[in-house]
Amino acid sequence: MRGEGAETMRVEVVAVGTELLLGQIVDTNSSWIGEQLAAAGLYSHYQTKVGDNPDRIKAVLTQALDRSDAVICCGGLGPTQDDLTRDVIADVLGVDLEIDEAIADRIRKMFTSRGRTMPENNLRQAMVPVGCRVMAQQPGTAPGLVCPVPDGPLAHQNDDRSVERSTNRVIYAVPGVPYEMKEMVTGTVISDLVARSGRPSVIRSRVLRTWGSSESGLAEVLAGRIEELDELGNPTIAFLASGVEGLKVRITVSASDEGTAMTMLDEEETLLRQLMGPIVFAVDDDNMETVVIRALAERGLTLAVAESVTGGYIAGRLCAVPGASRVFRGGVVAYHSEVKTSMLGVPEGPVVTEQAALAMAEGARRQLGADIGLATTGVAGPDTAEGLPVGTVCYALSGLDEAGICPDASGTLQLPGDRERIRQFSTISILDLLRRRLS
């Protein structure tokens, strides 16, 4: 991660659950937590998965405390016998578990409010290691825990090693249910970590989304600025490759107050946009389709699509945007050549050509009464077609508004990957072309 060289608090993530090791559940929690830590300017050098076995959980947890200042333990806080996280934390800290009556009452009321009788094993979730506190957020029955680690050797260390210990080490335990975990991490864990790290009170991030450049190409464009930030240490920038969602450039700033942080973000965004140019298509949670829908609405234009190779992907992404009906007239999935000719007016002959794509775009615009038509046709594989290699995609835009913003255009892409990636990359590529024309 370039530009983030200043020493800071080391945080480790431990995901608990045999189902993670068996591949029954994909561990998206650890990656999300890692993203939040990075945005807060905190190091996360290790992420570990471990099954529901007390000895192995203890070994992983104690190893994490040997090399990190803080450990976020995710999962294993439920009411069943294989939910062992709180028991192991107590063992590692060398303390007992005690029931927190306030939490026990809260769990009982949750069941009562739902008209259900609480099984007694749910009171396991109210057991808290002595010296630990529960997090204020409790969207489910399992409370999160903040567990300060005492100074000196841990309970597992029976030798005479003299190990320098931070007086600020801590274990956080959060549930594995994603929405519960996220509420606790954003509500308690990150702010507590920032306070313990001694970093400035305000750390803010902004993500610039780009499409049309490789990571290496973008790194070359930004090389000079990266070198400058390596010297400054604040702000920092990092690249996040996100597949079909584009290549993200995250800016992170540390400041004494909110106003200063936002000013720093604005200044760095302006500088990076000047360096990167039109490949920047969105900021933070915006995506390609929200930007396109907004641009069409601002100009009072409507859109129709005709899809062959993308098979409805473009229409699906557009329809996922709230308010899309203001500008999106509809789409035609013209997968068979006969549909292209009979419904959209494509001339007889090869259908994976720029001319065919333009005819499809014109046909969609005409049939659906839109200002702009957009079309894709191509070879998604696994077999070649019309003598063209897999990954060949022809696209077109048809239509012209009064200001001449979106004249007819067509082109051909040669995309890498399997069938799914070709269809997804085709979708975002053609939407990006429309975005650029509208801007």
- Identify the pLDDT of residue 1: 34
- Identify the pLDDT of residue 119: 84
Neighbours of 409 (CB within 10 A): 16
* Cα 193 to Cα 8, 38, 93, 189, 289, distances in angstroms: 11, 12, 19, 6, 35
Residues 6+ apart with CB under 8 A from 31: none
Fold of 10-197: Molybdenum Cofactor Biosythetic Enzyme; Chain A (3.40.980)
- Identify the pLDDT of residue 238: 86
Whole-number average pLDDT of the chain: 89
pLDDT at 347 over 90: yes
- Identify the pLDDT of residue 162: 36
Cβ(148)–Cβ(169) below 8 Å: yes
pLDDT at 64 over 90: yes
Question: What is the tens place of the pLDDT at every residue in 89-140?
Answer: 999 999 999 999 999 898 888 888 888 888 888 888 899 999 999 999 999 8
- Identify the pLDDT of residue 43: 77
As a whole number of angstroms, the distance between CA 407 and CA 398 comes to 7
Question: What is the tens place of the pLDDT at every residue in 136-190?
Answer: 999 988 999 999 998 765 644 444 433 344 457 999 999 999 999 999 999 999 9
- Identify the pLDDT of residue 3: 39
- Identify the pLDDT of residue 405: 55
* Architecture of the 202-283 domain: 2-Layer Sandwich (3.30)
Instruction: Tell me the domain boundaries of the chain.
Output: 10-197, 202-283, 288-438
Question: Alpha-carbon torsion 151, 157, 160, 162, what sign?
Answer: negative
H or E element at residue 120: none
pLDDT at 407 over 80: no
Instruction: Read off the pTM.
Output: 0.71
Domain spanning 288-438: CATH 3.40.50.150: no
- Identify the pLDDT of residue 30: 96
Beta strands in 157-298 (DSSP E): 170-174, 202-210, 236-241, 247-255, 280-283
- Which of the residue ranges 191-205, 329-343, 380-394 would you say has the lowest mean pLDDT? 191-205
Q: Which residue has the higher pLDDT, 38 or 174?
A: 174
